[in-house]
Structure 1
Amino acid sequence: MMTPFELIKSDLSRQTGRYSNNLLIKNLLNNNRSFKYTFWLRLTSSSNSILKLFARYMHTHLSIKYQIQIPKEAKIGAGLYLGHATGIVISPSVEIGINCNISQFVNIGSNHGKAASIGNNVYIGPLVCIVEDVVIESNVTIGAGAVVVKDIPKNATAVGNPAKVINCNSPAKYINNMFEK
């Protein structure tokens, strides 16, 4: 299990291709919405109670400001990248592997309790809805506007409403600066 600070390093490395303390400060002070949001989300699980309390406040504040709802209970692996961080809603029961790109206006949810399980190196395009307890395996690309209601196999590209696999030729095509365990 990675610490919140290790997760923060992996998230920044995904965004910038490298990590340094100066880069961390620069991305927090500049308006890098994606990193700022993931930074405070990761710190909500800190073992330091004062830091955790402040992180929860900042997470709530940024959730309202950026219109992102990713609950602290969601299980999200290292290397999270939020593209154009706005309009994202994720269920607390979701499980997401490492190196996941989540674009703007994505909804991953469930009306019946258990949301999706998403593998490693997955790109989720803009306006995608992933509905109910589906399994999205590793190295998958989900095209813009897709509505995923069935499982997607490894290395696939899926598009449409409902989403259909169109090929298995370019796995993890849009995942850059991959974090390695």
Structure 2
Amino acid sequence: MERASEKLKKDLKANERSAKGRLVMRLFRAGQMLPQPLRRFYRIIYYSGVDIVMGISLPFEADIGGGFVLRHGQGVVVSWKSRIGRNCEIHQGVTLGEKNGAAPVLGDNVTIGANAVLIGGITVGDGAYIGAGAVVTKDVPAGAIAIGTAAAIR
């Protein structure tokens, strides 16, 4: 299992062209590395800077593999129950949300396009691509491309 410091090195390399991505991942991993008693105080600073100022909801409790890339980042919401594999890329406006107490699980090398919404206890397989604006409520197999919306009014 990778330690937070090892994940941070991969995050910084993956976000080498994004000052915002590097900053957010440094703050995120720092929070994960702190002993539990200090997290309570650090959370206030982290929340103020990352969530309120930058508009990125990325709780420490989310299990995120190394090499995580935030493209632009604005409007990203990740459930604390989400699990994100290694070398994943998330664009602006993405939501990984809970439904019935379960949140999405992403495999390794997954890319999620802008404004996509993934809801509930779904699994996205390794190397899958979720298109911009997609609404995903069912599992996505490894290597697949998911596009479009699932909403239907009857």
Q: If you compute each CA radius of gyration, which structure gives the higher value, 1 or 2?
A: 1
The residue that corresponds to 1:20 in the other structure is: none
66, 77, 83: which one aligns with 1:78: 66
Instruction: Note if contact 1:77-1:96 (Cα within 8 Å) is conserved in structure 2.
Output: yes
1:56 matched to 2:43: yes
> Do 2:81 and 2:102's aligned partners in 1 also have CA atoms closer than 8 Å?
yes
- One-letter amino acid of the counterpart of residue 142, structure 2: K
Q: % of aligned pairs identical?
A: 34
Relative to 1, partners in 2 of residues 1:55 and 1:33: Cα closer, same or farther, differing over 3 Å?
A: farther
Q: Which portions of structure 1, spanning 4 or more consecutive aligned residues, are displaced by more than 3 angstroms?
A: 47-55
2:11 equivalent in structure 1: 11
Distance in 1 between residues matched to 2:95 and 2:15, nearest whole Å = 22
Alpha-carbon offset, residue 99 of structure 1? 0.5
Alpha carbons of structure 1 residues 50 and 91: separation in structure 2 relative to 1, 3 Å = closer
Deviation at 1:48, TM superposition (A): 5.3
Counterpart CA distance in 2 for 1:134 and 1:111 is 10
Alignment CA distance shift 1:122-1:151 (3 Å): same
> C-alpha offsets along residues 62-117 of structure 1, whole Å, 9 cap, x if unaligned?
21101111111111111110000110111111111001101000111113111011
Q: Give the residue type in structure 2 aligned to 1:41.
A: F
1:33-44 equivalences in 2 (<5 Å): 33-44=20-31
1:155 aligns with 2:153: no
Would you say 1:142 and 2:135 are equivalent positions? no
Cα gap change, 1:149 to 1:49, in 2 (>3 Å): closer
Corresponding residue of 1:131:
119
Gaps of 5+ in 1: 18-26, 164-181
Instruction: Tell me the residue number matched to 1:171.
Output: none
Paired residues for 1:161-172 under 5 Å:
161-162=149-150
How large is the Cα RMSD of the aligned pairs?
A: 2.1
1:45 aligns with 2:23: no
- TM-score if structure 2 supplies the norm length? 0.88
CA 1:35–1:55: 2 relative to 1, 3 Å: farther
In the alignment, residue 55 of structure 2 is paired with which amino acid?
Answer: Q
- Residues 129-175 of structure 1: CA deviation (Å, up to 9, x unaligned): 00111110000111100000111001111100129xxxxxxxxxxxx
